[in-house]
Amino acid sequence: MYWLIEDLNHIDILSKIKHQAAYVEVIPTSHNLHPIENEICALYIRPRDDSKGYIIPVNHSETINSTIEDCLKVLNSIENIHVRDRKEFLHYFCIKHCYQHSPSPHTYIPQLTPAHNHIYNKYPNTQKLNTIVPIVKHYETCEQNYNNFKGEINPFYNKAALVFNQLERAGIKVDQSLFEQYFDKEANEFIYTQYNLNTLTTRPSNAFGGINFSTLNKDNGERNCFIPRNDLFIEMDISAYHPTLLASLLDYDFGDVDIHNSFAQMYGVDYAKSKEITFKQLYGGIWKEYKEIEFFKKTQTYIDDLWKQFETQGYIKCPISDHKFIKSEMENMNPQKLLNYLLQNLETANNILILWDIFKILRGKNTKLVLYVFDSFLFDMDENEQDILQEIINVFKIKNLQTKIKKGTNYNNIK
């Protein structure tokens, strides 16, 4: 069968084979639009037991196009669908039986053909350019992507994909005139985040359209652009997150007191100074004068054991996520750095479970969770739904996490 599927008979043939597994890639109409605002240009399918892939065009200028229903017919006939980014795929097709590989520190960047680059560069401000890129060039790129598709499936990150897909769907409302003033670009009523777990530590980055949502400036006023669609923003920040996570690994109990206050008493300094000292030790190594404090004695023992396992076994497996940090894939590692990587992975994995529970509470509500940044969760709150606030707080309490709550009418004036 020819690689380009342009008639219903070939759709039926592809569906009746009922492939056990296939790699699938969505080719969007626009290469620079968020998936929520995008459409499908074509669908690439590479069955595992076939020698080539197939393209089903949906919206392309030089082909006989099929429908989304035709694509679904083929997709539903495949037992296991493997995708590069499940979160992104779910924006186009809400299919349960799709899976992605574990996050990798070496993100594969698809190599576009000269035809792609020529058209993208010639019409930088034009949408739907993929509908005029020759369909055979899309096929060449997808075949190459398939050949570079490697890794192991980790069920936890398939759950993570659902969480971040849901988070991206919410969008953040913007004051359009202020947005244009600060970011020098036009915006619709809502803009969308895009989370990426393919980082060195698996702690997600969050950037799209030239905006890094994880590092929005707190001083120049640009946060004024982001406003609630409902009544107000509520931000929940987790206090002393990494010390709390590390304490759980060490089986060390701080009790119900503020952790930084507890450290302040250990050091004999004030609250602000204790925070500074604690984080310098967690990220840079334990200081000699504090090595006899029980928490740090246990920490040093844990670091030593972790490093020994990394050196002898060749990898460590992280709690909750089961993600592996593999020695041969990492550069310039040392014991303290390995602990930091593990803590960032544990933070992310714990947050995925928190987000999962929060989305169950928000199901059917007007209140939305619109932004997540490491230890901070931003809610677009409907004041008529204040009763769910305690339910959300309880999600954190169950995990023995202390939170601070702030409110504001935009992202800049939250206090």
pLDDT tens-digit readout, 356-393: 999 999 999 999 999 999 999 999 999 999 999 999 99
30, 33, 36, 37: CA torsion to nearest 10: -80
Which is nearest to 360 in space by CA: 328, 334, 394, 326?
394
Query: Residue 129 pLDDT > 90, yes or no?
Result: yes
Residue recorded with tokens 């080719």: 27
Neighbours of 246 (CB within 10 A): 20
Strand partners, 99: 82
Q: How far apart are CA 149 and CA 151, in angstroms?
A: 7
Mean pLDDT across 312-324: 97
Single-letter amino acid, residue 69 = E
Query: Residue 108 pLDDT > 80, yes or no?
Result: no
Triad 98, 350, 279: Cα angle to 5°: 135
Mean pLDDT across 267-279: 94
Query: Residue 1 pLDDT > 90, yes or no?
Result: no
Q: How far apart are CA 66 and CA 63, in angstroms?
A: 9
Provide the CA 414 distance to its chain's centre, in angstroms. Answer: 24
User: What pLDDT sits at residue 18?
Assistant: 94
Provide the CA 6 distance to its chain's centre, in angstroms. Answer: 35
Query: Residue 102 pLDDT > 80, yes or no?
Result: yes
Task: Provide CB contacts within 8 A for 270, sequence distance 6+.
Answer: 264
Residues in the chain: 415
Query: Residue 151 pLDDT > 90, yes or no?
Result: no
